[in-house]
Amino acid sequence: MTPPEQAHLQITPTLAIGMVIVTGVVLGGMDATAKFLAIEVPVLMVLWGRYFFHTVITFTVYAGRRRSLEFLRARRPGLQFIRAASLFGATSFMYVAITHMQLADASAIQFLAPVILTALSGLFLGEHVGPRRIAAVIFAFIGVLLIARPGSGVLGWYALMPLVTAVLLGIYMMMTRIIRTKDNPDSTTFYSTALGALVLTVLVPFHWQALTPFEWMLMTTMGAAGAAGHYMLVKAFHSAEASMLAPFTYSQVVAAIIWGFLIFGDIPSVWTFAGTAVIIGSGLYVWYRESRLPKETS
């Protein structure tokens, strides 16, 4: 008979899908909280709160669960550094972007990342990228142009920031793919935010301003949301096939639209919906091709 603890930890594919959707809502809410805080608090302090509390929570959970600090020992520190730096850069550009853009616009553009990963995998990992997936990359960038509408004066240069975020997230995903067989998963998860927390803790005193109790609560909530979201995502992708879960990661774009409307009264334009549909469609096609590739080659 299965012990109650093991039964409780068993995650079915349906539950894994639910966890991915909830993660999208949680991470979308985290970005909305960052945008709200940045109205009164310097962006660098907002970044610090997101990274510092995320790292503290992760450290506390891992150290308490394992009763050791073995997870601090990285076998490939160089690769961990590149991966963590990519995520830190991506978050930094994204948080600056959302202070000048609607959440929906910035979130849609950053979801170019899976498509960019396809291009990077062909360039740096030697993976075969056929004409269909190249076409998907091109169409995804057309989606960005629909949202940004260069020359319209609506978003201007700020639209480049989530685009840089997408490129850095593509690098982050590529490094994750490289490092997953070379280092401890717990080390990889911890160091994802530890580098950013360390750098920001050094810089934040020069940008510090007094926070209200409510702002401290929001900063802590951001870190907790980041830790919970990434934990659920890792658990979900360890419990079900990536090809099945990947389409549901786009729930974060939908969540960004809803959070933006509820908190800031943002109503996305027709161009935003059109561009978002093109980007999501391109990403789904890339995942569809990747999920079929093993079957076609077997």
**Domain-by-domain residue ranges, the chain?**
13-293
Q: Give me the percent of the chain exceeding a pLDDT of 70.
A: 91
Give the number of other CB atoms < 10 A from CB of residue 6.
Answer: 8
Q: Which pLDDT score is estimated for 12?
A: 81
Q: Which of these, 200, 191, 198, lies nearest to 76 by C-alpha position? A: 191
Distance, in Å, from the CA atom of 226 to the CA atom of 77, rounded to the nearest integer, reads 23
The pLDDT tens digits of the residues spanning 91-141 come to 999 999 999 888 988 988 888 887 888 778 777 777 777 787 788 888 888
Q: Which pLDDT score is estimated for 153?
A: 54
Q: Which pLDDT score is estimated for 204?
A: 96
- Owner of token pair 């608090």: 41
The pLDDT tens digits of the residues spanning 207-236 come to 999 999 999 999 999 999 999 988 888 788
Distance, in Å, from the CA atom of 293 to the CA atom of 77, rounded to the nearest integer, reads 32
| Average confidence score pLDDT of the chain | 84
- What pTM, to 2 d.p., does this model score? 0.84
The pLDDT tens digits of the residues spanning 180-201 come to 777 777 888 889 999 999 999 9
Distances (CA, A) of 58 to 148, 152, 271: 36, 43, 39
- Owner of token pair 């079929």: 292
For the residues 86-92, what does the mean pLDDT come to? 95
Q: Which pLDDT score is estimated for 151?
A: 55
For the residues 142-152, what does the mean pLDDT come to? 74
